[in-house]
Amino acid sequence: MRIGARFIALGVALVALAADVMAASDVRSVRLWRAPDNTRLVFDLSGPVQHSVFLLSSPNRIVIDVSGAKLATNFDQLTLSNTPITGVRSAQRTPDDLRVVIDLSAAVTPKSFTLAPNQQYGHRLVVDLFDQESGAAPSLPATTVATAPQVPVTPTQAPPKLTPIPNGKRDIVIAIDAGHGGEDPGALSPVKGQYEKHVTLAIAKELQRQVNAEKGFRAELVRTGDYFIPLRKRTEIARKKGADLFVSIHADAAPRAAAFGASVYALSDRGATSETARWLADAENQSDLIGGAGNVSLDDKDKMLAGVLLDLSMTASLSSSLNVGNKVLGHMGRVTPLHKRRVEQAGFMVLKSPDIPSILVETGFISNPNEARKLSSASHQQALARSIVTGVRQFFHENPPPGTHVAWLRDNGKITLGPREHVVSSGESLALIAQRYQVSLVVLRSANSLTSDVIKVGQRLQIPATALAAQP
């Protein structure tokens, strides 16, 4: 009898477990984010679901069938202005099957995927509605079932068309990327209501204002509002805008609330090497370069030569990234404490562009109460932006892209360059540094009181101003 009782108890437990697994998940809330080219709907769920999405026309609408779900909220709070959505309605087809219908004012291309829980959110169903260009053929109705997280793929962009400047001298373009956004708040602050995504956008806008006040420079925001952009698309946007430099703004967090200080990151050598391989292996990226969206053309090169050219491009981009990063970090150290006194290198996805020098600026630790308060201060944001602009301006005054207004100023002796500091990196020799700045070894040794040509990684060398004036 005891064995029979155990089997009965086990059976009851299994039935209860099965009922729990099969129980419908609640749709607890719905959030909407508008981006320049798409609208994102995020359904917050109490558990995992299966779903399908299909299009209907006359009139345009999207149907989302969610299996194993019940609606535990309403759609009244959604702000639909400036979106193609005119209404959202729902029906419970069965007790455990929910249908959501999105009424549209224009045709869109939907993409959908589910997300597992993270530190901020539980299970989510994400539906992206991408705007269609005027006159584009409408997408055919189709059913897609999402069973694993996906990242929307952006079609290859056409080559950037830079705005022509009178007398042929264009502006230097700085792409400013405010980290995170939309349903991705970034790091959380101990200050109530403060999120990294809001701090980074505020600093990015102030940085844009100050860059645009510099003659010969123009700043373009990658993210202009509170919405999410996939990491690789951020560099695509920068490339489309013809960026000469990509600056990503962040506010760090750490397990220890006492952690403090600003940092600047560039891509690591290992990350650059792996990214070169990825670009060569990815047909879409190859077509992007062949199409002229980047500065590297591979259309008439064999695979080995293409690899060498792309590797050289990545190496040059990384060298410039470290150069501008050192300048920015030096000036930031005058307005805020530094977490690291040298440019750090890591494999950040957002820095992996083979043709655009890129840096990531951690403006401080938002997890530190004192720094969180400073980061929300307009005066501190202005000071941070000013230090970044100063470093960027110094870099481009010394290394202006050909055909720019700044290059014209330098070539005509209208930019006075003072002495600068060069931090020796791995693989550099004194002769190479002298050649880079077009100064003789004798002058370089004299300026640094060197008795030989032996230098060490991390050593700081003073570059004479007379050399900089002649630097190409």
pLDDT in tens, 200-242: 999 999 999 999 999 999 999 999 999 988 887 888 899 899 9
Boundaries of every domain in the chain: 24-145, 166-398, 416-469
Cα-Cα-Cα-Cα torsion 165, 167, 169, 173, nearest 10 degrees, comes to 0
| Cβ pair 222, 232 in contact under 8 A | no
The answer for 283, left when phi > 0, alpha when psi is -120 to 50, beta otherwise, is: alpha
Give the integer Cα–Cα distance in Å for 285 and 355.
12
- Please give the structure tokens belonging to residue 374: 């400073």
What average pLDDT does the chain have?
78
Please say if the pLDDT value at position 139 is more than 70: no
| Cβ pair 121, 28 in contact under 8 A | no
Options 2.40.240.20, 2.60.40.3500, 3.90.1300.10, 3.40.190.10; CATH of 24-145: 2.60.40.3500
pLDDT at position 387: 94
Three-state helix/strand/coil letters over the chain: CHHHHHHHHHHHHHHHHHHHHHCCEEEEEEEEEECCCEEEEEEEECCCCEEEEEEECCCCEEEEEEECEEECCCCCCCCCCCCCEEEEEEEEEECCEEEEEEEECCCEEEEEEEECCCCCCCEEEEEEEEECCCCCCCCCCCCEECCCCCCCCCCCCCCCCCCCCHHHCECEEEEEEECCECCECCCECCCCCCEHHHHHHHHHHHHHHHHHCCCCEEEEECCCCCCCCCHHHHHHHHHHCCCCEEEEEEEECCCCCCCCCEEEEEECHHHHHHHHHHHHHCHHHHHHHHCCCCCCCCCCCCHHHHHHHHHHHHHHHHHHHHHHHHHHHHHHCCCCCECCCCCEEECCHHHCCCCCCEEEEEEEECCCHHHHHHHCCHHHHHHHHHHHHHHHHHHHHHCCCCCEHHHHHHHCCCCCCCCEEEECCCCCCHHHHHHHCCCCHHHHHHHCCCCCCCCCCCCEEEECHHHHHCCC
The residue that leads in pLDDT, 216 or 150, is 216
The residue that leads in pLDDT, 5 or 161, is 5
What residue type is 135 in one-letter code? Answer: G
Cα 295 from chain centroid (whole Å): 20
pLDDT at position 171: 96
pLDDT at position 22: 52
Q: What is the CATH number of domain 166-398?
A: 3.40.630.40
Please say if the pLDDT value at position 175 is more than 70: yes
Q: In the chain, pLDDT over 90 holds for what percent of residues?
A: 38
pLDDT tier, 270 (very low <50, low <70, confident <90, very high otherwise)? low
Please say if the pLDDT value at position 295 is more than 60: no
Give the integer Cα–Cα distance in Å for 443 and 385.
35
pLDDT at position 120: 75
pLDDT tens for 86-121 read 999 999 988 889 999 999 999 999 999 888 887 778
pLDDT tier, 342 (very low <50, low <70, confident <90, very high otherwise)? confident
Give 177's strand partners.
Answer: 248
pLDDT at position 280: 42
Cα 235 from chain centroid (whole Å): 7
- Say which CATH topology domain 416-469 has: Membrane-bound Lytic Murein Transglycosylase D; Chain A (3.10.350)
Please say if the pLDDT value at position 433 is more than 60: yes
- Region 175-193: mean pLDDT is 86
**Of the candidate ranges 11-15, 111-115, 116-120, 461-465, the one whose mean pLDDT is the lowest:** 11-15
| Cβ pair 50, 67 in contact under 8 A | yes
Cα-Cα-Cα-Cα torsion 272, 275, 279, 282, nearest 10 degrees, comes to 170
The residue that leads in pLDDT, 435 or 151, is 435
pLDDT tier, 271 (very low <50, low <70, confident <90, very high otherwise)? low
pLDDT at position 305: 52
- Please give the structure tokens belonging to residue 349: 């996805």
Give the integer Cα–Cα distance in Å for 120 and 122.
7
**Of the candidate ranges 69-83, 135-149, 196-210, the one whose mean pLDDT is the lowest:** 135-149
- Region 68-92: mean pLDDT is 91
pLDDT at position 293: 36
pLDDT at position 168: 57
